Structure 1
Amino acid sequence: MQTPLKDAWIYLANGMFFKAKSFGAETTSVGELVFNTSLTGYQEITTDPSYAGQFICFTMPEIGIVGTNLQDMESRGIFAKGILCRHYNEKYSNFRAVESLSAFLKNFGAMGICEIDTRFLTKTLRQEGAMMMVASTEISDKDELKTILEKSAKIEEIDYIKEVSTKASYKHTFGNFDFSTMDYTTPNTRQKIIAIDFGIKRSILNQLVSAGFNVEVIPHNFDAQSLIARFKARDFDGIFLSNGPGDPQILTQEIAGIKALIEARIPLFAICLGHQLLSLAQGYPTYKLKFGHHGGNHPVKNLLTNQVEITAQNHNYSVPESIAEIAEITHRNLFDNTIEGVRYKNTLICSFQHHPEAGPGPLESSALFQEFSKLLDAAKH
C-alpha cells in the first residue's frame, strides 16, 4: 500500500496558486516551469543536465510505472529542480528497476509533485510561455511564496554550466547499451574527437563512440589556444560542442573560445546549446522561444533529402533566420518552422538543434553522427 503523500504548494509567476501532493524531496525550490510531451523515458529526461534550473511538467499522465535503473542515467545525477505529473505510481514493474522514482528523486534532492492538473498547466504555458515558479512542502502561504519567487534570480541570469560540466578531462570508451548481453558495446574507433562538456548526455557520448569516434571529454572552461596547438599537432581530428542548460548569451568565455576554434578552422559538430553557441560566436544572437521544444515527438524536415524525421527536443532558445547569411539551413522544425540544423559555408562546421542520440526518443536522426565522421574524412583530403 502506498504511503500517504504530503501536501505541496506551488506559486507561478503569473499569480496562479495550487495545492498538490509531494513524492520527492521535501524542500522549497525555485525554477522555470516547462512541459515535456514524451510518452516514455522520464528517468533519461530527469537526468538530462539541459534541464538544470527547471521544473519539468510531464504531459504523460502516469509517471513512475517502470521505476528507475542504472542504465538510463544521462548524467551523474538530477540537475532539474523537480518534476510535475498528474498521477504518480509508487509500485513499479520492470526487470531493470532498482528503486522507485520517489526514492530516486529524494536521493538527488529533487522535488516530485503530483495530483495536479498538468493539462491545465501545459495549456497555460502554451498561452503565456515558460515561466518561473516556486514549489514547497514547507510553506503554504501564497504571499510568502510570492515573495520568495520575486526575490529569486531568473533562470536567464544563472550560469548552470559550471554546475553540470565535468571538473576534469576523461575518456569515454563504451558505445550503446546492448540488451541482448545487458552490457555496453565497445566498438572499434578510428577518429579522435574532443567533446566539450556544457552538460553532455551519456547517450550522446555512447552514440559518438558507436559511430567510430575515440572520445576525450573536457570541461566547459577549455583553453582554446591549447586545443588549437593540439589540433595542429594532429592530436585529434575534430571537436564536438555538447548540449547544456540555460541562456547561451551569458556564456561569454565559452563563446570567445569557440570563436577562436572557428578561426583556427577546426572541424566542429554541435548539438543543442553547442548549436546556439556556434551562432553567437559568429555574431548572430539567439532568441528565446515562447515555451521551448521539449519532447520526443517533434517533426523535423531534412531540407537536403526532403524527408521528415521525428526527433527528440529539449531547448528554450533558437538561432536567428539571419544565420542564412553565413550558413545553409539544412533542417527545420515543422511545428513552428524554426531552424533545426545548419551547415556553415566554406567551413567544416555543422550543427543541429534537435537531439539525434534519442535518449529518450526516436532514432531517425542518429545518422547525423555518421555525417560528422564523413566531415572529418573530408578534412583529411
Structure 2
Amino acid sequence: MKAYIYLENDVFLSARAFGYGGTFLGELVFNTSMSGYQEIISDPSYAGQFIVFSMPEIGIVGTNEDDNESKEVFASGIFVREFSPTFSNYRAKESLETYLKKHQKIGIYDIDTRFLVKLIRDSGNLRAIVSTEIASKEELKERLLASKKIDEINFVKEVSTKKPYKHEQGVWNGKTYDKPKKSQKKVAVIDYGVKKNILNELVDANLAVEVFPYDVKAQDLITLFKKGEIHGVFLSNGPGEPKILKDEIAEIKKLAEAKVPMLGICLGHQLLSNAFGYETYKMKFGQHGANHPVINLENKKVEITAQNHNYNVPEELCKIAFITHRNLFGDNVEGVRYKDYPIISVQHHPESSSGPHESKYIFKEFANLL
C-alpha cells in the first residue's frame, strides 16, 4: 500500500505501508533497541504514539503469543526502514504483518528512519498523521491540527483492566513458566498500563499479585492493608501526560499519607512525584530504548537499562527523597527512596522486556520493603 505522512512541522512524506490500512494519528518517538520489537509494540505505554525503530530491519523473528506485554496493541503504528515479510525463528507463530493486521495497526516502511530520528532529536517529539486513504497534504494537515494533542488525552482509562484479577505466572525461563513459590506477602497492582513481565517479576520476587483498575479507590486498598489482606501497592507504568491524571494523583496521595509501602515504575514513579507536590516535566524527545546507562548511587554500579518515557521528575524531589539512581545520558533523576515514607520508585524498566537484566533487583528490594 502507498502511505502518506504529514508531520506538524509541515514535513510531508510518502512511503509504503504494511499491516492494517487506514488513517492514524499519533506522536512520533524513536526507539533505539536492537531487538524485542514485539515487546515494544505491545507495551501499553506507547498508546497514542508512532514508534520509529532505529534498527534498520524489522520482522525477521516474527511474533508469538508469549512475547506480548498486553492483549492489545495501543500504539498508533510503527515506522521501519526495511520490513521483512518472511520470518525465521523457532518460537514464531505468525509474521509481523499478520500481527499488525490482527490488532488493526499500521506499519510504515521504505522510509528514511535515520532522517526521522534526527528530526525528532532536533525538533522534539512530533505529532503525525499517517494514511493509506488520503493523499492530500492539506487534508492531512487539517485533520492533524483539528485533533487533540497527546498531552490532553487520558490514555490510562483505555489501557487499564476493567476489573480486578489475580496474576500467578512467573518469569519465562526458555521452555515454560517458572511456577510461583508460596507467597509470603501480597501486593495490589494499580494498572495504569502494566506490562505482563512486570507482573511476572513481582511473582518471581515471591509476591502474591492482584491487579486493580486505574480508578480503584485508595480507601479500599487502605482497608485491605489494615486488615493484612495486602502488604503494599505497586504503581505501574503507563502512557501519556502524568499531570492530567488528577484523580489518580489524589488517590496516591491518600495511600502515601496512610504509610502504605509502595513501588512505582515509570508512570507510577512520575505520579508519586506529583502526589507529593513536585510536578513532572516533558522531555524534548524522551528516552526510549534498551541501552541507557544508569548509575546506582548507593553502590556506585552502572546498569544498562530499558527506558520508555517522555516525562521526568524534577531535581527538587531531593528535598523529600534520596536520589538513588541517575541517567548517565542526561543526568536526570532515575530513582528515589522517600525519606519519611516506605516508598521507592524508578523511571527505568527493571523487568527488562525487552532489555538488559541488570536492574531486576528492584523487585526484590520491594519485596524486602514489604
Q: Give the TM interval when normalised to the shorter protein.
A: over 0.9
What code does the residue aligned with 1:74 have? E
Encode CA deviations 1:346-378: one digit per residue, 9 max, x unaligned: 2110000000000000000000101111111xx
Encode CA deviations 1:223-245: one digit per residue, 9 max, x unaligned: 11111111111111100000000
Question: Counterpart of 1:177 in 2: which secondary structure?
Answer: coil
Task: Look up the match of 1:303.
Answer: 297
CA contact (8 A) 2:40 2:354 kept: yes
Task: Determine the C-alpha separation between the residues in 2 that align with 1:305 and 1:10.
Answer: 47
Instruction: Tell me if 1:194 matches 2:209.
Output: no
Task: Look up the match of 1:379.
Answer: none
What code does the residue aligned with 1:215 have? V
Give the superposition deviation at 1:253: 0.6
CA contact (8 A) 2:62 2:89 kept: yes
Give the superposition deviation at 1:184: 4.6
Task: Look up the match of 2:225.
Answer: 231
Give the superposition deviation at 1:186: 2.8
CA contact (8 A) 2:180 2:206 kept: no
Instruction: Tell me if 1:94 matches 2:89.
Output: yes
Question: Counterpart of 1:10 in 2: which secondary structure?
Answer: strand
Aligned pair partner of 1:76 in 66, 71, 76: 71
Question: Counterpart of 1:74 in 2: which secondary structure?
Answer: coil
Q: Which runs of 4+ in 1 moved over 6 A?
A: none
CA RMSD of aligned residues (A): 0.7
1:145-156 mapped onto 2 (5 Å cutoff): 145-156=140-151
Task: Determine the C-alpha separation between the residues in 2 that align with 1:136 and 1:91.
Answer: 24
Instruction: Tell me if 1:26 matches 2:4.
Output: no
Task: Determine the C-alpha separation between the residues in 1 that align with 2:106 and 2:153.
Answer: 20
Unaligned 5+ runs, structure 2: none
The count of corresponding residues between Structure 1 and Structure 2 is 370
Question: Counterpart of 1:284 in 2: which secondary structure?
Answer: coil
1:9-48 mapped onto 2 (5 Å cutoff): 9-48=4-43
Question: Counterpart of 1:204 in 2: which secondary structure?
Answer: helix
Task: Determine the C-alpha separation between the residues in 2 that align with 1:320 and 1:283.
Answer: 11
**TM-score in terms of structure 2 length:** 0.99
Task: Look up the match of 2:206.
Answer: 212
Question: Counterpart of 1:72 in 2: which secondary structure?
Answer: coil
Task: Look up the match of 1:57.
Answer: 52
CA contact (8 A) 1:191 1:213 kept: yes
Encode CA deviations 1:232-265: one digit per residue, 9 max, x unaligned: 1111110000000000001011000000000000
What code does the residue aligned with 2:350 have? P
Task: Look up the match of 2:103.
Answer: 108
Task: Look up the match of 2:359.
Answer: 365
Task: Look up the match of 1:348.
Answer: 342
Taking only the aligned residue pairs, the percentage that are identical comes to: 56
Task: Look up the match of 1:262.
Answer: 256
Task: Look up the match of 1:321.
Answer: 315
CA contact (8 A) 1:20 1:113 kept: yes
Task: Determine the C-alpha separation between the residues in 1 that align with 2:182 and 2:123.
Answer: 49
What code does the residue aligned with 1:323 have? L
**TM-score in terms of structure 1 length:** 0.96
Unaligned 5+ runs, structure 1: 1-5, 377-381
What code does the residue aligned with 2:217 have? D
Task: Look up the match of 1:242.
Answer: 236
Question: Counterpart of 2:19 in 1: which secondary structure?
Answer: coil
